Amino acid sequence: MAALTSIETGFPQGTVPCNNPIHSNPQPATDAATPQLPLEFEDPIARLPPELLGDIFLLTLPTITPSTVGPHLSNPRSTSPWSLGQVCSQWRVLALSLATLWASFAVPTKTTARVLYLLTVQLERSRQAPLHVLIKCNTRWRGDRSRYEQAYTTILQTIARECHRWRVIWLELNTTELPDAAIENLGEMPLLTELKLGGEYHPFIPDVFANAPSLCRVTLSDIGRRSVPQIRLPWRQITTYKATYLPGHIGHLPKLSAAAATLVECDIAIEEDYRLAVLWRNWTLTLPRLRRLVIRREQLLGGLTTPALRELYVASSSTTQSVIGFIVRSTCVLTRLTLVQCAAPAHEIVELLTHTPALTTLETQFACDIPDSGTPNALLAALAGAGLVPRLAALAWADFTDSTDRAAFADMVEA
């Protein structure tokens, strides 16, 4: 079992955000003359099975995002799992014995000696548990990088040697060169199931993730991205594909064809671009297993056929005619439909809903610049009538034009 670090022993006691801190209770005497404490008088938390308490510990872990800067102990509200061992000795034993509790972390570009030490300890405590790692590399910021380079290179090389334990790897890159050769020459990654590539720029990494037989989820996205990752992946085993397309660039389109037989979930964001939209309309593809589709432009549905689709999310639509044609062509049975920034007229939305009789969830956000301010109430009246969506069980309604008749909406919901 990993030893308690000097940093943890110096952590301020009594600052852990817990309303009822747990303290070690002395064991009851075994002398026959000493009565045993009835079970109902014991601390309820003390009776929790270790497995259940361990699951609760895992829920306290902070979410890893590109803004995560690494482990810190100064704020106890955001230092899980480090702060868990400061509550009582039993919690410390459990926290140190739970390897998965230490298996998620971020590596910042500005890795100091202190952060290097904490990450090294965390890797040791994770033992052989699968890892969820975010590696950030930004060589485009100003300032003296020499104070961070040695620690950063050391932790990258250490993590690269553990690539056989990677389950989720997230590379947030703002550089045209890899941060270290260790990342370029990785070994086999038998546990890797999810790869995320974000950041503004990407280096040339064609074969880095070729040895990933379990890889099934790929995200190639970033709001401010200016380059397309040049990477070869086992596309014929990918089940989830999410990507942001640069205007005028078709680099990811062939990936959909390569993953057509296995794709179950697809999320595509694209800015309006005439050349790319024309290409999509002239490009036909059948995704036989796709269950969930998120797409930014409804025009891009023109060439797709998805007979197994159940959930559809469409953003920035001024008409629903392409969506209707897509549903009719695919003969899919939708159970969930989401229309975001929708500027389509009410009669088109109603026509769309006539093709979704099995719909159980409808989510609608009307565009702020919707041409007809009467659209929300017209759709509301249609939904209030019998038979349009007979199985509807959940409705989300966002009208930022504030033109919805609230009384009519309440009556429709009650009915």
pLDDT on residue 16: 39
At 76-85, the pLDDT tens digits run 455 789 888 8
State the pTM of this model: 0.81
Per-residue pLDDT for 1 more than 70? no
Per-residue pLDDT for 69 more than 60? yes
* Least trusted range by pLDDT, from 264-278, 330-344, 400-414: 264-278
Instruction: For residue 366, give Cα distances in angstroms to 301, 344, 374.
Output: 20, 9, 11
pLDDT on residue 36: 60
Alpha helices in 83-172 (DSSP H): 89-97, 113-126, 146-161
Q: What percent of the chain shows pLDDT beyond 70? A: 76
pLDDT on residue 249: 58
The residue-averaged pLDDT of 174-191 equals 76
The residue-averaged pLDDT of 210-221 equals 88
Question: Domains of the chain: which residue ranges?
Answer: 38-209+228-233
pLDDT on residue 13: 41
- Rounded Cα distance between 144 and 218, Å, is 34
Local confidence band at 110 (pLDDT 50, 70, 90 cut-offs) = confident
At 276-303, the pLDDT tens digits run 666 666 778 899 999 999 988 787 788 8
pLDDT on residue 174: 77
3-state secondary structure of 172: strand
pLDDT on residue 271: 64
- Rounded Cα distance between 273 and 254, Å, is 18
pLDDT on residue 23: 40
At 369-396, the pLDDT tens digits run 887 888 999 999 999 887 899 999 999 9
pLDDT on residue 312: 98
At 335-372, the pLDDT tens digits run 999 999 999 999 999 999 999 999 999 999 999 888 78
Instruction: For residue 327, give Cα distances in angstroms to 151, 310, 312, 332.
Output: 54, 11, 10, 6
- Rounded Cα distance between 299 and 319, Å, is 9
Per-residue pLDDT for 27 more than 50? no
At 306-321, the pLDDT tens digits run 999 999 999 988 899 9
Per-residue pLDDT for 324 more than 60? yes
At 34-52, the pLDDT tens digits run 556 565 656 777 778 889 9
Supply the DSSP symbol for 13: T
Instruction: Work out the angle between the directed axes of helices 346-353 and 321-330 (0-180°, nearest 10).
Output: 10
